[in-house]
Amino acid sequence: MKLASTPRIEFLRELATEILGVYGLGRTVVAIDGTDAAERAAFADDLAAVFDEREHPVFSASLRDFRRSRAEQERFGPESPERLLRHLYDFSLLRRVLLDPFRLGSSTGFVTRAFDADRDAWIQPTWLTGPSDATLILDGEYLNRKELRDVWSYSVLVETEADAVRFGPGGAEDTGTVTEHEVADRLYRGEVRPRSRATAIVDVSNPADPRRVFLDSC
């Protein structure tokens, strides 16, 4: 289906052209990293729509659907920024049932949802297959961590205006108004430096008109 041409859609079309120009054949996995869950998910959904517009087979998934249960998380101690960063998600499960089988291609089955975080319950798996040339777009936080770096064909770091406030000098962490999740985000940024790991950094401070950010201007 032809999408309405807007600055956002045109930006995403250019990004899709870049990705498909290098990774148009075989199985491709695109990571959409970022701290703002809503903006990150919206960006991933819209990018998938652009791939679909081109009639390129595309699958979507969210890291949210690969969380550990609350009971599992508690095995790693009381809730803390460290626990959120290290143990909120089951990266081993993510690789085992989605990323690794998707990359194998052929008729290998994969699962795009494994856990319902709202119900704190496992989801009955629905095994999918796809054509030999297909793209998986996965959105989530902490995606440029070392356990996953070798999986991504291409990764996008989505940043908002709030990120500059929260993580820049004099940000929220310096005011005493910080949440545990914000501290976990800062730990991640300090440890992983996702800006240096991502293939593309995209500023969505104005969601209707995203812009590419290059490291020499960071």
* Cβ count within 10 A of residue 14: 12
Q: Say which residue the tokens 């626990």 belong to.
A: 83
**Residue pLDDT, tens place only, 87-138:** 999 999 999 999 999 999 888 999 999 999 999 999 999 999 999 999 999 9
Contact criterion met (CB below 8 Å) for 36 and 158: yes
As given in the structure block, the two tokens for residue 93 are 């499960």
Give the angle subtended at the CA of 128 by the CAs of 122 and 134, to the nearest 5°: 125
The CA distance from 128 to 58, in Å, is 12
For the chain, the maximum distance between any two Cα atoms, rounded to a whole number of angstroms, is 53
pLDDT at position 147 is 86
Locate all alpha helices (DSSP H) within the chain, ordered by sequence: 7-23, 37-53, 70-74, 81-87, 91-94, 100-104, 161-167, 180-192, 194-197
The model carries a pTM of: 0.92
User: pLDDT of the chain along its 218 residues, tens only?
Assistant: 799 999 999 999 999 999 999 998 999 999 999 999 999 999 999 999 999 999 999 999 999 999 999 999 999 999 999 999 999 999 999 999 999 999 998 889 999 999 999 999 999 999 999 999 999 999 999 999 988 988 999 999 999 998 877 766 555 545 557 899 999 999 999 999 999 999 999 999 999 999 999 876 44
In angstroms, the Cα distances linking 78 to 14, 30, 82 are 44, 33, 10
Q: Enumerate residues 6+ apart whose C-beta is below 8 A from 177.
A: none
pLDDT at position 169 is 56
Locate all alpha helices (DSSP H) within 79-212, ordered by sequence: 81-87, 91-94, 100-104, 161-167, 180-192, 194-197
